[in-house]
């Protein structure tokens, strides 16, 4: 059984209605294997939390960056609320320890799966909003995102273009981008890698850097700029 008091202590939030907290961590697979329980999955809370999260981040970016154009604000927001960012935040908070999963999902690494962690964080935000209102929820969200927001204001944070492209493509085509090494040139101590990002056989962008990871990021950035241009 999950120790919800320990959960609240570690997260630094105290719920008035603990059932909302519990629901935030109920994965659908748990209910599939435990039918008849008087509890819902976290999917509805996730829906609400996603809306609250987007509003809070949009509001903060609008206030903090008065000179940025809408397109740039959209990019920053998308990077802050993308699955990878949310999963990292949830993992740091220990959300994987409290997920209520079916045995199969648990055995398949469900506690560390990015989608499960990100969904649980959004559900938690929805639960917190219902339990304590917008002001407390805003404080929680901005506390978690503070390092990223500070980094953006200081010009240190690089947007997660790989995550942006992946979420966009999966939302539009239900496909997964593939990064393909095109060539590696130069001596071993100073190689340059060129990588192409491909979706359903179509090249979307190409990048070159001194590492494969850097080349992938450059390719993703080129793809993101192309996608943004094509979709207004």
Catalytic residues: 50, 122
Whole-number Å distance between alpha carbons of 22 and 42: 9
Whole-number Å distance between alpha carbons of 58 and 48: 16
Count other Cβ atoms within 10 Å, centred on residue 202.
8
**C-alpha torsion angle, residues 30, 33, 34, 35 (rounded to 10):** 110
Q: For tokens 């491909």, what's the residue?
A: 198
């Amino acid at each position: 059984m999950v120790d919800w008091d320990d959960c609240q202590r570690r997260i630094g939030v105290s719920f008035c209605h603990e059932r909302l907290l519990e629901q935030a961590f109920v994965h659908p697979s748990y209910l599939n294997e435990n039918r008849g329980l008087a509890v819902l999955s976290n999917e509805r809370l996730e829906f609400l939390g996603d809306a609250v999260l987007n509003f809070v981040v949009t509001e903060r970016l609008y206030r903090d960056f008065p000179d940025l154009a809408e397109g740039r604000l959209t990019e920053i927001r998308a990077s802050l609320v993308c699955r990878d960012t949310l999963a990292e935040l949830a993992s740091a908070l220990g959300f994987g320890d409290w997920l209520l999963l079916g045995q199969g999902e648990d055995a398949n690494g469900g506690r560390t799966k990015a989608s499960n962690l990100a969904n649980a964080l959004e559900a938690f935000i929805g639960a917190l909003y219902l339990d304590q209102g917008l002001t407390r929820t805003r404080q929680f969200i901005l506390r978690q995102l503070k390092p990223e927001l500070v980094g953006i204001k200081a010009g240190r944070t690089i947007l997660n273009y790989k995550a942006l492209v992946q979420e966009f493509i999966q939302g539009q085509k239900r496909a997964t981008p593939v990064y393909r090494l095109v060539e590696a040139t130069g001596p071993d101590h100073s190689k340059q890698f060129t990588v192409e990002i491909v979706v359903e056989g179509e090249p979307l962008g190409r990048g070159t850097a001194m590492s494969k990871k850097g080349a992938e990021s450059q390719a993703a950035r080129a793809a993101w700029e192309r996608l943004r241009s094509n979709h207004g």
